[in-house]
Amino acid sequence: MGNDIEEIKAKLNIVDVLGEYIKLDKAGANWRALCPFHNEKSPSFMVSEEKQFWHCFGCQKSGDIFGFVMEMEGLEFREALKVLAEKAGVKLQNYSPQKEEEKNRALEILELAVKFYEVQLWKGEGKEKILNYLRERGLKDETIKEFRLGYAPKGWRNILEFLIKRGYKIEEINKTGLLVQKSGPSPVASTRHPLSKGEEEINPNYKLQITNYYDRFRDRIIFPIADFSGRVLGYSARVAPGGDESQAKYVNTPETESYHKSRVLYGLDKAKAEIKKQGSVLLVEGNMDVIASHQVGIKNVVAVSGTALTEDQINIIKRYTKNIQMFFDMDSAGENATKKSVKLCLANGLAVKIVSLLQGKDAADMAKENPKELEKNVVEALPAMEYFFQKTFKKFDKNNLEGKKKITEELLETVAILENEVEKNYWIKKIGEDLDISEKALTDELKKISLKDKSKLISNTLDNLKTQEPIAKKEMLLQELMGLMLVYPTIWKEASKRIREENFNFKNELFDLMLENGEKTNFDFASFINEIGDKIEINQKAQNIFSQKKYRLDLNNNVEEINLPDPMDEFENYFREIKKESKKEELDRISNDLKIAEKSGDKEAKIFLCQESGRITKELHELEEKK
């Protein structure tokens, strides 16, 4: 695996890889950006092209191209390895563990199911009714194919039977969310829908066993849901026209190992390049809204697919842009969803605009009836505060006291979230003028809202602190020592030998791995990171500790290496201090044991413990003298 990693790194430039996610600006010999992992107004995220390394001086995260892709995409190391190997054109040689094999099998099943549903749409039962319906909704055939829409035919076991015949086990298929497990009697026999005349020849001995598993999607239009790279993770399935309307209009894949609805945005794989190009994203409610908008040329569009917008989805959007336009239905549910989503976006540092259409219209309707009008409305989207200002003043009567209170209450809750003080002052003044209320009164109300939010934040922080133990001095010293070891191979080698001699007991997994793997990796940081690639949290911790000891900002805010005049002397200082802390811990234990011995009247134990206490005190004094 080490050779694979080095080959990938040799073929990919960190600036090119990171530049696909964030806007990098040249800063001397390095590159600078706003950190994608925390909210900041001034860029503290630095990329060293020479070192092929990134580090944020704000949140202290750091790493190489693998660490970055893992953080951005929420991937495990092996998944990031596959993504970057594909980008670099490197064929991975040395890896096929069971978990990866299972995931690959699941993705194969999901992809094969899409092909099955596509064939059923174009050549099977969906050829007439479903295709005509999609065309009536304004979709062109090439658009239907581009988004890979399909049809799940009637019957209980069409996809189950199809996949089992191709060698997949029921347990594997079930993990993808394609099946439902029913307790009790098995459902009725399936209605067969073969893909082709030669299907029976694939496995002539095949016979589907009686099972309590059956197809989740039956007589439904299938919308495949893909990740950022286009891999199918799950499906959204709409009831077919004339189908059983007593059932849910849409049925989605449940949470699986591959599919997490809170972390997916429908259409992102097709929209991401355009989002970066235009510097903004259009967020709509449904899959049809995405497809119809894309067809008429609005290609920076994604959907939340019927769920409430989540922080995970916002973090995905922030990888590509800080500007978002929202286009939700204008009914009461849509209004509430818009308000909650806007507040969440503002709180996460996004600039938000609202696209507003006539009641009852959505993006799909508008794209079909008047695409030019849709494009015009998107261009003329109102900033979120302006939109809420207009809506709220229409909703309540500003000429009576109750109306003034309601307007003030609703608008100030949103004003409080704004980060820019100039923007806050502008809206306070505007609200005051329109309601004939003094700015001081509005500012006082805003302070109450902010104070209430701040008190809640402080309360939550204090609760968290109560459950946290203070970091011991010994642990802080150990972290500094680990940084030296990771940066300087000679110190790593020396420290490994000396620490074993002292028989120190540290409850630190990273440190244990450093001692265990140091010699095997020739005390080399990059080789060590490759060796522990599977341990994501430990891997990231190692990279952070390395960066903090290796790099800093110079007076011109450029990244420079830290050159210690005598690293070995610094090691000796840390090592001595750790020994002192260990001796103090021994003295504390002896003190407690002495109290127990005195209570029990054990004279021999008292003599021994006093001797040990004297010995350790002497050693501690000698260490103090060496300063």
3-state SS of 48-63 is: ECCCCEEEECCCCCEE
Question: Is 270 a residue whose pLDDT tops 50?
Answer: yes
Confidence of residue 308 (pLDDT cuts 50, 70, 90): confident
pLDDT of 192 = 44
Distances (CA, A) of 625 to 576, 579, 612: 11, 13, 20
pLDDT of 496 = 87
Q: For the chain, what is the mean pLDDT?
A: 82
Distances (CA, A) of 114 to 110, 121, 233, 565: 6, 11, 11, 62
pLDDT of 474 = 74
Greater model confidence, 227 or 531: 227
Contact by Cβ (8 Å): 542, 479: no
163-167, 327-331, 417-421, range with the lowest pLDDT: 327-331
pLDDT of 17 = 92
- Highest mean pLDDT out of 135-149, 448-462, 546-560: 135-149
Residue 568's contacts (CB-CB under 8 Å, 6 or more residues apart) are 490, 491, 494
What's the mean pLDDT in 133-154?
A: 95
Distances (CA, A) of 544 to 75, 103, 393, 550, 603: 18, 29, 50, 10, 51
What's the mean pLDDT in 310-337?
A: 79
Question: Is 252 a residue whose pLDDT tops 60?
Answer: yes
Q: What's the rounded Cα separation, in Å, for the pair 162 and 222? A: 17
What's the mean pLDDT in 368-394?
A: 88
What's the mean pLDDT in 44-51?
A: 85
Confidence of residue 176 (pLDDT cuts 50, 70, 90): very high
pLDDT of 198 = 39
Phi, psi of 283 (to 5 degrees): -105, 120
Q: What percent of the chain has pLDDT over 90?
A: 23
C-alpha dihedral sign at 36, 40, 43, 46: negative
Q: Model-level pTM?
A: 0.61
Confidence of residue 323 (pLDDT cuts 50, 70, 90): very high
What's the mean pLDDT in 593-599?
A: 83
**How many angstroms from the chain centroid is the CA of residue 160?**
32
HSE (side-chain half, CA atoms, 13 Å) at 399: 0
pLDDT of 331 = 62
What's the mean pLDDT in 292-310?
A: 88
Confidence of residue 108 (pLDDT cuts 50, 70, 90): very high
Vertex 362, ends 288 and 129: CA angle to 5°?
40
What's the mean pLDDT in 610-623?
A: 82
Question: Is 194 a residue whose pLDDT tops 60?
Answer: no
pLDDT of 557 = 58
Question: Is 196 a residue whose pLDDT tops 50?
Answer: no
pLDDT of 139 = 94
What's the mean pLDDT in 184-189?
A: 47
Q: Report residue 361 as tokens.
A: 């219209």
Question: Is 467 a residue whose pLDDT tops 70?
Answer: no
